[in-house]
Amino acid sequence: MPELPEVEAARRAIEENCIGKKIKRSVVADDAKVIDGVSPSDFEASLTGKTIVAAHRKGKNMWIQLDSPPFPSFQFGMAGAIYIKGVTVTKYKRSAVNDTDEWPSKYSKLFIELDNGLELSFTDKRRFAKVRLLKNPASVAPISELGPDALLEPLTEDELFKSLSKKKIGIKALILDQSFISGVGNWIADEVLYQARIHPLQSAASISKDSCAALHNSLKEVIRHSVEVDADCSRFPVIEKAVEVGADSSQFPSNWIFHSREKKPGKAFVDGKKIEFINAGGRTSAFVPELQKLSGEQAAKAAVKPQKRSSKKNKDEDDEPESEDEEIAKNAKPEGGKKTTQSRAKNPNTKRKSIENDDKSSDANDKKSATRKKSKGSSEVDEHQKGSKGHKKPPAKKKAQESEEDSDDDGEEEGEEEERVQVKGKKEVAKKVQTGRQTNKRAK
């Protein structure tokens, strides 16, 4: 993604090769997403016949000054780039084009042919750039809303410290803010903070005077060296395709985090120290925890957070064991067959259900006992009526049939006697069942 060094290299290429040249012909792409606020035909008519007077830049924005307004303005976005055909291959290779390259590129948004034979093209493969036609680009957004340029208008150390003291957001988020300092992008911000040994999430207002001095110095040095590498394009390899842009990373100091920030987590190291990646300012940020540590209250809070998690775990481990009823309720399987993990405290109905189940079990046992007693009582009545001890007890049904065969009168008397005994037995059983329930409840 083009940052200050890349845009500055494009500006210098135009300044050194196109100043004083007249625009012979121009072609503007029919792409309303990139060509902002003007039709291609109006744009072309405003450029043709004009002479290039100067090339200006602020932050990541550039505009070409002509001998009369309006002027073409370029916001580079994520993949914007300037290419010039006809520049000597040993100069400004970032903007140079080979004879074998497609020209103009199919991604060209503005093509200009100069009267000396040079040809210039602004390309944007990803279509996030903006090309505008403005009377005074510096006086309108987005350029008018930018903060001081990191290269051309650097803050003094005291100005930087005073500005930081008013900001409570993370330092990386702040220096990425183009209204604070313009031109700093993601990789430059990571490099500046690494060289200054400042954590990306450190609150700007909490940065000490010494750390601010280190930040001021690294910001100046990283920007200066990056611009030199990009502008001195004789150090770049030949561009094989017009749309490809990239500096020779070997020209950057070996102790820069720049060389490893694109590697996968766990495999990125600088000077033998591990690089980690976090989100800071809404961007993936590379930093070295061993060297870039939080300070002040943020360091204390960072140290307390894991301790809190540990304390909670210990508390759970040290809790008193649950009662037997609670363990049963926790491990009980519901109708679906799955274990429930709810504790008895979370389900107050569990105890009530347990008691009801116990009552039902007790009722079943009492009924079985009552049935046995009833059977025994019936047998005793039969034996008493038969009047013979030690004789085998016939079933009640068989005894009733025998009695009917003997005589109707005897059967009626025996039937009435048996009915009285059964009624009495049922009352006794009911009384015992009720007594058994009360006994079980008291026991529980």
Concatenated DSSP letters for 96-127?
Answer: B--TTS-SS-TTEEEEEEETTS-EEEEEESSS
Task: Spot the catalytic one: 2, 104, 137, 142.
Answer: 2
Q: Is residue 224 part of a domain?
A: yes
Contacts of 286 (CB under 8 A, 6+ apart): 190, 194, 257, 260, 261, 268, 275, 276, 277
Between CA 384 and CA 107 the distance in angstroms is 117
Instruction: Provide the residue type at 274 as one letter.
Output: K
Q: Based on the residue annotation, tell me whether 326 is a catalytic residue of this protein.
A: no
Of the candidates 301, 324, 347, which is a domain's last residue? 301
Q: Say yes or no: 34 and 162 in one domain.
A: no
Task: Spot the catalytic one: 21, 50, 60, 109.
Answer: 60
Q: Say yes or no: 174 and 230 in one domain.
A: yes
DSSP states along 7-75: HHHHHHHHHHHHTT-BEEEEEE-S-TTTB-SS-HHHHHHHHTT-BEEEEEEETTEEEEEESSS-EEEEE
Q: Is 140 helix (H, G, I), strand (E, B) or coil?
A: coil
Q: Is residue 270 part of a domain?
A: yes
pLDDT of 340 reads: 43
Q: Is residue 179 part of a domain?
A: yes
| ω into 72 cis (within 30 of 0) | no
pLDDT of 1 reads: 73
Helical spans, DSSP H, in 204-268: 209-231
Q: Say yes or no: 119 and 189 in one domain.
A: no
Q: Is residue 373 part of a domain?
A: no
As beta bridge partners, residue 108 has 123
Between CA 288 and CA 292 the distance in angstroms is 6
pLDDT of 365 reads: 54
pLDDT of 253 reads: 81
Domain CATH for 257: 1.10.8.50
Q: Say yes or no: 231 and 117 in one domain.
A: no
pLDDT of 144 reads: 97
Contacts of 215 (CB under 8 A, 6+ apart): 160, 171, 192, 193, 196, 198, 207
Between CA 146 and CA 56 the distance in angstroms is 14
Q: Is residue 169 part of a domain?
A: yes
Q: Is residue 428 part of a domain?
A: no
Q: Say yes or no: 136 and 180 in one domain.
A: no
Q: Say yes or no: 86 and 115 in one domain.
A: yes
- Give the residues of the chain that fall short of pLDDT 70: 87-99, 230-250, 305-444
pLDDT of 441 reads: 54
Contacts of 272 (CB under 8 A, 6+ apart): none
Q: Say yes or no: 104 and 197 in one domain.
A: no
Domain that holds residue 23: 4-145
pLDDT digits (tens, 9 = 90+) for 167-181: 999 999 999 999 999
Q: Is residue 23 part of a domain?
A: yes
Contact at 8 Å (CB) between 46 and 84? no
Q: Based on the residue annotation, tell me whether 412 is a catalytic residue of this protein.
A: no
Q: Say yes or no: 38 and 61 in one domain.
A: yes
Q: Say yes or no: 171 and 132 in one domain.
A: no
Burial of 348 (0-12, 13-18, 19+ CB in 10 A): exposed
Q: How many domains in the chain?
A: 2
**pTM (2 decimals)?**
0.64
Of the candidates 244, 269, 301, which is a domain's last residue? 301
- CA torsion sign for 231, 233, 22, 50 is negative
pLDDT digits (tens, 9 = 90+) for 292-317: 999 988 988 888 765 444 344 444 44
pLDDT of 91 reads: 44
What phi-psi label fits residue 36: left (phi over 0), alpha (psi between -120 and 50 degrees) or beta? Answer: beta
Q: Say yes or no: 168 and 132 in one domain.
A: no
Q: Is residue 367 part of a domain?
A: no
Of the candidates 253, 269, 301, which is a domain's last residue? 301
Q: Say yes or no: 96 and 192 in one domain.
A: no
Contact at 8 Å (CB) between 188 and 7? no
Contact at 8 Å (CB) between 223 and 79? no
pLDDT of 183 reads: 95
Q: Say yes or no: 128 and 220 in one domain.
A: no
Q: Based on the residue annotation, tell me whether 2 is a catalytic residue of this protein.
A: yes
Contact at 8 Å (CB) between 58 and 142? no
Element (DSSP H or E) covering residue 407: none
With CA atoms as reference, report the closest residue to 37 among 80, 83, 75.
75
Domain CATH for 111: 3.20.190.10
